[in-house]
A = this chain, B = another copy of it.
Amino acid sequence: MKLTLEESAVDGDARCGTVRTSRGLIEVPTFMPVGTRGTIRALSTHEFSSLRSSDATVAADVMLANTYHLMLRPGAETVAALGGLHRFSGFERHMLTDSGGYQVFSLDPDVTDEGVEFRSTYDGSTHLLTPESAVRTQELLGADIQMVLDVCAPLPSTRRVLSDAVRRTALWAERARGVHSRTEDQALFGIVQGGTDPELRSESASVTVALDFDGYAIGGLSVGESRDEMLPSLEAALAGLPRDQPRYLMGVGDPVSIVEAVARGVDMFDCVLPTRLARHGTLLTDEGRLNIKRAEFASDERPISASCRCATCQRYPRGYLRHLAAVGEPSAATLCTIHNLTWMMDLVAQIRAAIRSGSLGELRLRLAANHAGMAPGQSTTGSGELATQ
């Protein structure tokens, strides 16, 4: 099911628009929170579904789930027996599954052209993930969008390693395209690799687009490199992707990288950052980050943010959140997650409004002033993903 993007506003290379799927519309640009095992950690699906940006223009449109975890627990067949991911998790909007490759490559697996052999972090059992099995598993899971199995090389890597990753990614992409059968209600996205080498990125985009995927992702970034290293490769990849289809930058969630990528034409993002930070008591605000566990907040009657309309800021003083976090109450993670995801929706709302009013440049400057401290690579931490989403 080929996804096309209908543009409603542009500002330079940035665009607002809608992507039509078999389930409905995805408004872009969008940020997709990560529900690793079919749930946003510390949040129920019904609470996640109810989240809105403070101006109520952005909703929880897409949730990402991790194939690696779901194929092992409870198993893709079990999810299918329960009617697929939507009925399983109770989430009625769009779902996207990754291929499982990102987690598997962090486990130092045996990789051949056939696929990736790895040991389960749950019970040590051995599994083979191939381009074909990744497609079949994701068909069973039944998300609206699935991703091809790709080779995500670490950074820095030699040109030879990056080039091999591009070659194998293309080989696997063709095999995945060939076996994908759930084409009436599920989109299959190809993934551009190439590390921080613009030439390889351009080559990878070209061979991936030649396979005619339903949408395109840029993978293998936000793995430790600086933003200055990331952006030229991102630009090279984007230059090779069709303008009328959605473009998804995988694993990037820091505000400055998001707005810089949007300015270059990216539509979709995912990252564990806002939810993981929340579980450690780190809150996103317009002025930067705030760690709620600090003693200075113990008697603070103010909400996290006076302008935020989330359930947490509407009801709870910082002193209460500090108390919950300090004593380890699970509701601390819940309330901080609600705030951080709302803040990300507010960021998306600001980005969309800036594109519509032609003022994205000003927003980029403002975000750079308050949120430049974090490199894109800080947003994901390899195998840490496995345990904590």
Which A positions have Cβ atoms within 8 angstroms of B?
A: 37-47, 69, 73-74, 78, 81-83, 87-90, 298-299, 301, 311, 315-317, 319-320, 322-324, 326-327, 329-331, 333-335, 338
Contacts and interface: CB of A to CB of B under 8 A. Distances in A.
Given A82-B301, A299-B81, A324-B39, A46 B330 contact: no
B44 A334 contact: yes
Given A81-B299, A299-B82, A329-B39, A311 B46 contact: yes
B81 A323 contact: no
A320 B82 contact: yes
Contacts of A319: 74, 78, 81-82, 88
A37 B329 contact: yes
A280 to B, nearest CB: 14
A38 B321 CA distance: 11
Contacts of A73: 323, 326-327
A82 B317 contact: yes
23 contacts: A37-B324, A38-B323, A38-B324, A42-B330, A42-B331, A44-B311, A44-B334, A46-B315, A47-B47, A73-B323, A74-B298, A74-B323, A78-B298, A78-B299, A78-B319, A82-B319, A83-B317, A87-B301, A88-B320, A90-B315, A90-B316, A330-B333, A330-B334
B331 A43 contact: yes
Contacts of A81: 299, 319
Question: In the assembly, how many copies of this chain are there?
Answer: 2
A100 B82 CA distance: 46
Given A39-B329, A40-B331, 15 more contacts: A37-B329, A38-B320, A39-B331, A41-B329, A42-B330, A44-B334, A44-B335, A44-B338, A69-B327, A74-B319, A74-B322, A78-B298, A81-B299, A82-B301, A87-B301
Contacts of A317: 82-83, 87-88
Q: Which of A74, A83, A316, A323 has the most CB of B within 10 A?
A: A323
A74 B37 contact: no
A333 B42 CA distance: 9
Nearest to A317: B82
Contacts of A43: 331
A78 to B, nearest CB: 6
A334 B332 CA distance: 13
Contacts of A330: 41-42, 330, 333-334
Contacts of A83: 301, 317
A319 B73 CA distance: 12
Contacts of A78: 298-299, 319, 323
B315 A45 contact: yes
Nearest to A40: B331
